[in-house]
Amino acid sequence: MQSPSPTRQQLLSGIGFALLTCIIWSGNFVLAKGITNTISPVSLSFYRLCGASILMLLIGYKTYRKETAAIWQHRHYLIISGAFGFALYSTLLYIGGNYTSAINLALIGCTSSPIFAVVLGVLFFHQTTTKAQLLGMATCALGILLLISDGRLRNLTHFTFAVGDWWMLAGSFSFALYNNYVKKRPLGISNVSFLTAAFVSATFLLFPVFLIELFFLHPHPIIINLRFAATFLYLSLGCSVMAFLMWNKSIHIIGPGRTALFGNLIPILSTIQAILLLHEPFKPIHIWSGLLILLGLAIANLPTISANKILNPR
């Protein structure tokens, strides 16, 4: 049965949650490149998930206890969600940061994940796709391609995938699966309890890999200082707890495909951060690509018209 289209007020709140999430996440790709020089990808992902699990248990313990029966009943769903959305995605992202640039991480992650989310949603999760969403997705992709090519078509012909790019592509596919699983969250499990269970599940899933790395692969020793504490807080509280609470809320309001499209804003937001904080050079191409992405998002979030639906679920 098709869920009703969101009202204008719900649509605006869903868009707002997605925008705030992208602002928080926009620095994660830069961090993925810089911090992995001092800490291994698995360790970074594991500590991030540990911190997020502890914070979510502190925040939602009472709610979690009330919904224990529903959580146990749907434990397999929660484990799969935690595996795809947290354990796999964050680890693959940080592995990619060891082999490719932060720009490539952001561009590949933000262009491929929405496409994966829409395709998987239509093929396996009985989602509907409108002409407006497809046109908006194409416009966003055009904006990203403009940014990648620096406005020169020949630059695209020389664009090649490095090892790290493939890791990021795998991470994007994992996160697209997560986006669609979130939409299917069972009744009786709140957003807070869902995230708590998923974070804890992901932490336990990653723990054996963390131990193997710790005892057999001999990663670089972690230096505990102010920088590490700030990074840990940003990843656990910001990128994990706050961002995923808002992202999941947006998915439930406006759908996984539409929400995923907002990820196209992250390269633009990351560019703005680089210009303001790192004093990287500003180019007119940043304006044009940003306008195209914003236009694509506006088109994709037009009110749904039933006559425009390409596929109808059964």
Q: How confident is the model at residue 310 (pLDDT cuts 50, 70, 90)?
A: very low
Q: How confident is the model at residue 301 (pLDDT cuts 50, 70, 90)?
A: low
Per DSSP, the three-state class of 229 is helix
Q: What is the pLDDT of residue 114?
A: 74
**With the CA atoms of 99, 236, 177 and 64 taken in that order, what torsion angle do they form, in degrees rounded to the nearest 10?**
160
Which run of H or of E encompasses 303?
A: none
User: Distances from the Cα of 297 to the Cαs of 127, 139, 180, 233, 293, in angstroms?
Assistant: 19, 8, 19, 30, 6
What's at 211, amino acid-wise?
Answer: L
Per DSSP, the three-state class of 45 is helix
| Cα–Cα dist 140/106, whole Å | 14
Q: Residues 73-79: what's their mean pLDDT?
A: 93
Q: Is the dihedral of CA 213, 215, 219, 220 positive or negative?
A: positive
Q: Residues 134-150: what's their mean pLDDT?
A: 77
**With the CA atoms of 251, 129, 126 and 165 taken in that order, what torsion angle do they form, in degrees rounded to the nearest 10?**
-70
Q: Please give the share of the chain, as a percent, with pLDDT higher than 70.
A: 83
Average pLDDT, the chain: 80
Nearest to 107 by CA among 273, 269, 222: 269
Long-range pairs for 2-8: beta carbons < 8 A, 24 or more residues apart: 2/128, 2/312, 2/313, 5/303, 5/304, 6/253, 6/254, 8/303
Q: What is the pLDDT of residue 53?
A: 93
Q: Is the dihedral of CA 63, 69, 74, 75 positive or negative?
A: positive
Residues 204-230: tens digit of each pLDDT = 999 999 998 888 776 666 777 787 788
Res 306 pLDDT > 60: no
| Cα–Cα dist 19/249, whole Å | 12
Q: Higher pLDDT residue, 224 or 62? A: 62
Q: How confident is the model at residue 184 (pLDDT cuts 50, 70, 90)?
A: confident
Q: Give every CB contact of residue 137 below 8 A, 6+ residues apart in sequence.
A: 114, 115, 118, 261, 296, 300
Q: Higher pLDDT residue, 281 or 2? A: 281
Query: Which range among 112-121, 131-140, 168-177, 269-278 shows the weakest confidence by mean pLDDT?
Result: 269-278
82 HSE (CA, 13 A, CB side): 26
